[in-house]
Amino acid sequence: MIARFAPDATLPRQLLVEARIPSRRLADPASEVTAQLHALPDAPLHGKRIVIGVGSRGIDRIVEVVRATAAFIRARGGDPVVIPAMGNHGGATDDGQAEILAGLGVTEATVGAPIHPRMTTKQVGVTPSGVPVYVAEEALQADGVVLVNRIKPHTDFESTIIQSGLLKMCAIGFGKSEGAAACHRAAIRLGLEKTLLEVSQKVLGSLKVIAGIALVEDGHHQMTRLEVMPAAAIATREGALLAEARNLMPALPFDRIDVLVIDNIGKDISGAGMDTNIIGRGIDGQPRASRRSDIGAIYVRGLTPASHGNAIGLGMADVCSKRVVDSLDPEAMFTNALSAMTPTTAKIPLYFASDRDCLRAAIRFSGTEAESVGIVRVQNTLALDRFIASENYVSQIADRGDLSIVSEPTAWHFDNTGDFDTASDLLTAGSHV
């Protein structure tokens, strides 16, 4: 236990704050994807085996999109099959990747198509810069391929033309473990942008891609746009959709946050556990060029169950709870870090048994005094519409038309173990005046 450098009573009182983030929720993704698939030039699907590539975690209503896609293929006489297109995730095993899809709700029963999670790949060539290109055999053997993925800013690098999306899914997702490792090794020499562009072009030329289904989410993590495009349009359309996704991303509420408390990180929240575009720290712990908030210290309280023990990104925090450490699956976490060539993300920060001790340590790391510390607590980096803020942010909130205080100021309460008291927890209980 660390020294009690300040009594709990000296912490500024806490407020529950709501941010008015515009909601642009797409009403019916299933009808939208069906209509847009029908609008594509006719492709002969009768008697054809068509692979649907799915992989990224945390996508809003992904089951509806995949189910409607599979139903469209079946209605045209095709045989839809879903494969995980997620690089080395799930411990780089067949069962692990199938388990991740099931955790997303994507099963044969829910989407109406069998799941084929084989990890075997075949090398299909080498890029002009010398990068070996691997593609999942399931996709190479198919009569057609449909890509389904979300377009969003990436957590590891910045680019205006390619980040997380359909092209990255081609290069890393369909490459399985071997392809992901080859891309990340090459990125040290070439950068991720050049690597992904070259590899994805080679993959698109090796697969019979029928369509790409690009998904964009709003600031509430709700699907706001769904666009079906032919293979030839993927490389040119992704940049525009990326710009739209970036503009829709929410931000932390204040320019300076002494201590940011994050209730949960996880692979279903961000590929890096917590979104670097939100926290303003890169995977190396250094500030990102796109940083919007200056954060003194980050305390991570928990890991989502959907992460299956993979706490990649934990190394970007300054303090974490012992609960997180106890829930780790080192094999899954280290496999992810080795493939992504990001050892810092898998490092374990200082950890303590209680929220009280973790918060004290984070305050000390922030270089502020407990009496004046500015604390912001969020559930995760996808949920910024409702958060806890120290009372000393009141003047800043009053000047903002997009923020409103929805609770009376209250002291920080801890139970007899030193954890936040669930009975008086403003963030999870949602107390209102």
Q: What is the pLDDT of residues 67-77, one digit of tens each?
A: 999 999 999 99
* Whether residue 7 has pLDDT greater than 70: no
Average pLDDT for residues 398-413, to the nearest whole number?
92
Q: What is the pLDDT of residues 211-261, one digit of tens each?
A: 999 999 988 889 999 999 999 999 889 989 998 988 888 889 999 999 999
pLDDT recorded at residue 228? 97
Q: What is the pLDDT of residues 130-168, one digit of tens each?
A: 999 999 999 999 999 999 999 987 766 667 777 788 999
Q: How confident is the model at residue 433 (pLDDT cuts 50, 70, 90)?
A: very low
Residues 215 and 336: their CA atoms lie apart, in Å, by 24
Mean of all residue pLDDT scores within the chain? 90
Position 319, amino acid: V
pLDDT recorded at residue 81? 97
Instruction: Answer whether 410's CB lies under 8 Å from 298's CB.
Output: no
Q: How confident is the model at residue 289 (pLDDT cuts 50, 70, 90)?
A: low
* Whether residue 1 has pLDDT greater than 50: no
Domains of the chain: 8-21+250-429 (no CATH), 29-248 (3.40.50.11440)
Q: How confident is the model at residue 335 (pLDDT cuts 50, 70, 90)?
A: confident
Q: Using a pLDDT cut of 70, give the percent of the chain over it.
A: 93
pLDDT recorded at residue 3? 47
- Lowest-confidence segment of 108-112, 123-127, 231-235 by average pLDDT: 231-235
Q: How confident is the model at residue 295 (pLDDT cuts 50, 70, 90)?
A: very high
pLDDT recorded at residue 233? 94
Q: Using a pLDDT cut of 90, give the percent of the chain over it.
A: 67
